[in-house]
Amino acid sequence: MTSQIDTLKMMPIQLEKDTNQASAFEVAQIQLEKAVKKMNLDPNILAQLKEPEKVLIVSIPVKMDNGTVKVFTGYRAQYNSARGPLKGGVRYHPDVTLDEVKALSAWMTWKCAVAGIPYGGAKGGVICSPKEMSEGELERLSRRYIYEISSIIGPKKDIPAPDVYTTPKIMGWYIDTYNKLTGGASFSTITGKPLELWGSEGRGEATARGLSYTVEVAAKKLSINPLEATAVIQGYGNAGSISAKLLHEQGYKIIAVSDSKGGIYNPQGIDILGVSDYKTKTGSVKGFPKAEFISHKDLLELECDVLVPAALERVITEKNANNIKAKIIAEAANGPTTPEADEILFQKGIFIIPDILANAGGVIVSYFEWVQGLYGYFWSEEKVNSRLKKLILKAFNEVSRIAEKEKTDNRTAAYIYAVSQVAKAMKVRGIWP
């Protein structure tokens, strides 16, 4: 059974709300309104931009290994399609909520616009604990989820991709299920797929690689020499671990990393290859023998040149922003900084590379994968990375230009740029019927 909710109605946002208590979607609206204050935006356009176009809620019955049937809840939020087909990942996590998925779909809308790619924003999620499920249970969950949302996805409609705790293998199950349902052999409805199913070279590292390109240019802007600089990584999944590797290759000394079970710290530098091997064997960075334990709180507040929040939302808030000592914050995660923290960090002179810019590498290379799949012509990893760098640095330079012109923070500048691009498309399209 599926149910559909069109254009959900929200109460008008109260900008004075304590954003540490605000929901993720309220935070997304606060960020939007902050940018709009500096824009000459048609209020009729703003009214449409404050709500998703469509949200699908699905029930997902799954036969578990013990023979019982468990019913999971899944979501797919489609925020704005003015600039093209909808694009966004699917996350599997016990804390997934409708509110979170709506916020993430809004951030994807702005991310695609900042990146300059012809997509609107969407996001999906399933409430589950993937670490506690067998591979067979995950496969049955994944195939049923795609079956339930199949009516609203497609290569010219909505293109899902990986996110938190979803993988290329899961994307393979997605595309196989979709093709079985439609009777087709298209591989462009899903991105982030295995190379054997016409995924793209460079996709696995794309989010972190795009972030490393933005850190590289930000460091030059601030006269930071990577060979004499330190970095801290909060979150050690795909984006966090690869960010650590790529920043280390640039010359940064990685002094602390963490995952959901805890953090490790060594002021002399952490052996990144050793940590990766250790996590593969043990399931966590916690307990790595060549470093000392550090709490998540203390890790975020370490003195360093670059801090990479690469876990979940709202880890930098009004409560700890004054204690942040990094010179650059590069947001690999979506929504790691609250609006109140943004103000504090801006006043402290900390250079934030906002999520909708810093982690746009993933969706940029997903776009490349989609294009390659549509044409059946595939590029080398070198070409993928070169084109990624060109697009993300173009976006970085445009955001920096607006920030300097408007004398505002980088996040607001990124929103100004993104919202203006979406608004232009909406204006020339009009409303029908």
pLDDT at 178 over 90: yes
Assess if residue 88 is contained within a domain: yes
Pair (149, 227) in one structural domain: no
Which pLDDT score, from 0 to 100, does residue 20 have?
52
- Residue-wise pLDDT for 47-72, tens only, equals 999 999 999 999 999 999 999 999 99
Residue 13 scores a pLDDT above 80: no
Residues 234-243 have a mean pLDDT of 95
Position 290 in a domain: yes
pLDDT at 186: 86
Q: Are residues 7 and 72 in the same domain?
A: yes
Q: Which residues contact 151 (CB under 8 A, 6 or more apart)?
A: none
pLDDT tens digit sequence for 68-118: 999 999 999 999 999 999 999 999 999 999 999 999 999 999 999 999 999
In a domain, 363, yes or no: no
Which of the following is catalytic: 123, 253, 286, 389? 123
Please say if 325 is a catalytic residue: no
Q: Are residues 60 and 151 in the same domain?
A: yes
Whether 262 contacts 286, CB under 8 Å: yes
Q: Which of 358, 392, 407 is the last residue of a domain?
A: 358
Mean pLDDT of 377-390: 98
Mean pLDDT of the residues in the chain:
94
Number of neighbouring beta carbons within 10 Å of residue 131: 11
Q: Answer yes or no: do 321 and 349 share one domain.
A: yes
End residue of a domain, out of 122, 154, 186: 186
State the Cα–Cα distance between residues 215 and 221, nearest whole angstrom: 10
pLDDT of residue 395: 98
- Give the number of other Cβ atoms within 10 Å of residue 155's Cβ: 17
Number of structural domains, the chain? 2
**368, 118 Cβ separation under 8 angstroms:** no
* Position 5 pLDDT exceeds 60: no
* CA distances from residue 225 to 12, 234, 251, 306, 348 in whole angstroms, order as listed: 46, 22, 9, 11, 21
Shared domain for 119 and 167, answered yes or no, is yes
- 278 and 147 in a single domain? The answer is no
Domain that holds residue 313: 206-358
Residue 392 covered by a domain: no
Q: Read off the CATH number of the domain in which 315 is found.
A: 3.40.50.720
> Can you read off the two tokens belonging to residue 369?
């994968």
Taking only the tens place, the pLDDT of each residue in 125-159 is: 999 999 999 999 999 999 999 999 999 999 999 99
Residue 9: the pLDDT is: 31
Do both 174 and 268 map to the same domain? no
Which of 155, 186, 217 corresponds to the end of one domain?
A: 186
Q: What DSSP string describes 183-203?
A: T-----S--S--GGGT--TTT
| 316 in a structural domain | yes
* pLDDT, position 290: 87
User: Is residue 117 located within the same domain as residue 16?
Assistant: yes
Residue 379 lies in a domain: no
